[in-house]
Chain A
Amino acid sequence: MSATARVTSIVVRPRDEVSVFATDPQQLLPLISGFGRFRFLGLRDEPDHEEWEAFLDVGTLHIGGAIDVDRTDEHRLRWTSLRGTRNVFDLTVEPDGADRSLVTMSLTITLSGLVMSRIAEQLARGIMTRHLDAAIQQLRHHLEWEQGGVGGG
């Protein structure tokens, strides 16, 4: 069984500018405080694919493992798990007028089991939603105000 959390936010910056930052794990992951552990492991055989290790801090648990990061689309960042917690992350940047972007983040996890895994997935959905909301708010604030955005930062 699996559970998906999804959040969206308008970022008052042009799509290209948002995409350059948001689809680069070197820049994105340090900004997202929920990812307490992450590191680059190396390039994969496929073009524009990288192997990373990323873990979400969830109370006393660290959820994550090795992931295959797909950077083939300049407006999209997607990864799938290779080891550890089975998860799929997807970030897309779409235009919302000339000077604004719509950023969507989703995270899907899959747990083994029947009844208990369903309960755990429901709880995980809330946890993931809060982490994604924190990530998208940090991304929005950074791009709008701390990186020469509307506030001049």
Chain B
Amino acid sequence: MVSNDPAVGKSRLLKAPRADLSGRDPAFIRRMLPRLWLVASVWFRAEVEGFEKVPDEPVLFVGNHSGGAGVPDTFVFLLAYNTYMTVEGRPLFSLGHEMVTSLPGIGAFARKFGVVTANPGAATDVFAQDGSVLVYPGGDVEALRPWRDRHKIVFDGRKGFLRIAHAAGVKIVPVVATGGQDTFFVLNDGRATAKRLRFDKLLRVKTLPISFSIPWGFLPGDLPHVPLPAKIRIQLLDPIDLAERFGDEPDWDEAYDYVTSVMQAGLSTLAAKTVLPVLG
């Protein structure tokens, strides 16, 4: 199924693939799981907890995004989901930035794992197929937030995910993660720079900070890099039923404040397990 939503690929320079749900390749995922498990276990010493909270129905997983272009916590979560729920179980699609889905090599890999170019129509299509969706409302702004803010939820006021969940009648399952922002270092908040250079219009990139990563060293923004072996912890929180809590016509600002409050408390609690940054 291909989404016809006009929001797909709307940056002026990128030619992002259409949000094609048939791009997810269960056989490919099955082949990749052992080697991804090795990377997740040895390199990131990953811990993912809380899948028992997920109801047996389509849900919208809402995560905090970290790790810049590497997005290591996304792949750890996709690995964990596909092993806990099994590859044949309810499929999970992750809505990703077109910078990711349009990258040579990595984009194709991501699409086979169920990453589709982010747009509301794609989420609706997934729910119609009884699948679940993973979104990162903070997108590039959160994935490239300064290292000092690594334990802060930065959704930048984006509320579209609330409307998607409410309209589809699915519960939100918050997912908080630590460690991704320790795989490289972001030195400053680059939102003003991106706006000044019109990157927000040309590439749909809302931030352009200075980062430090291997092998690039200091770099404006970020490119796929070798992640430092930071310990990654992921915690799923209790599901949120927006209709039950906020009714048929929610005050979106209030719903946004509630979800981000739940996630900030969860993220700070998870971060308290860290003894030493990077080492975990």
Q: Which positions in A face B, CB cutoff 8 Å?
A: 33-34, 58-59, 123, 126-127, 130-131, 133-134, 136-138, 140-141, 144-145, 150-151
Contact = CB atoms under 8 A, between A and B. Distances in A.
Contact of B261 (A58, A123, A130, A145): A145
Most chain A CB atoms below 10 A, which of B245, B261, B276: B261
Contact of A59 (B264, B265, B269, B275): B275
Contacts, number: 51
B151 interface: yes
Given A123-B276, A145-B258, A151-B258, A130 B271 contact: yes
Contacts of B264: 137, 141
Given A33-B272, A59-B275, A127-B275, A137 B254 contact: no
A137 B258 contact: no
* Main SS at interface, chain A: helix
Query: Which are the 10 A-B pairs with shortest beta-carbon distances?
Result: A134-B272, A141-B265, A137-B268, A134-B268, A134-B269, A137-B265, A59-B275, A130-B272, A131-B272, A133-B268
Interface string B237-271: 00000000100000000100110011011001101
Most chain A CB atoms below 10 A, which of B258, B268, B271: B268
Interface residues of B, number: 17
A138 B258 CA distance: 13
Nearest to B245: A151
B275 A58 contact: yes
